[in-house]
Copies of this chain bind each other. A is one copy, B any other.
Amino acid sequence: MDVSAGVFRDGMSCLGAAVSLITSGGPEGRHGMTASAVCSITDSPPTLLVCVNQKNRSHDVFNGNGNLCVNVLAGRHVALAEAFAGRGDAGRFETGDWTTLETGAPVLADAVVAFDCRIMERRAIGTHSVFYARVVALLKPAQAAETVIWFDRRYHPLKAAPPEQGAAAPANQRG
């Protein structure tokens, strides 16, 4: 039994994942893309991985610069996610408050969390590359945690506080 690319993609649309901007800066210039294929590997040493299509322009920029920053997005960033996916009217880096930490990769100042990484290794698998990246700096603004999840081919904003199941009254209300 073979699993076709279409059946696989349809199945993968049901694997929810956070939406991030993966950015890089250095000799190859500044570039970035929207991605959901990001995964924690280990905290010893702090390492994550990012999967990137080899045809994506960002792929060679990441490879050449040797760095990448994973900027995890919230619901308020959907327009930015669209811009970095090459959709919409806004150019990449035209909006958003950008800074840098250790590597020189662009860091979104109000990201849910940003992981500034040096690329340690690249492994090609079919059409894609897996980048193994060591986290060398981290930005986590102190504010109420929320994020945005890509699931069923849509954005789903998600707040840290769990939803009240069927409750109409606000939580923590005092009688």
Contact = CB atoms under 8 A, between A and B. Distances in A.
Interface stretch (A41-49, A56-64, A79-87, A90-98): A41-49
Interface of A: 1-12, 14-18, 20, 37-49, 51, 53, 70, 72, 101-102, 112-113, 115, 123, 125-128, 130, 132, 135-138, 140, 145, 147, 149, 151-152, 154-158, 160, 162-163
Given A37-B39, A49-B130, 20 more contacts: A1-B137, A3-B137, A3-B138, A4-B46, A7-B46, A8-B43, A14-B113, A15-B18, A15-B40, A16-B18, A16-B158, A39-B49, A42-B127, A44-B126, A47-B125, A49-B51, A145-B152, A147-B151, A155-B162, A157-B163
Contact of A154 (B20, B41, B162): B162
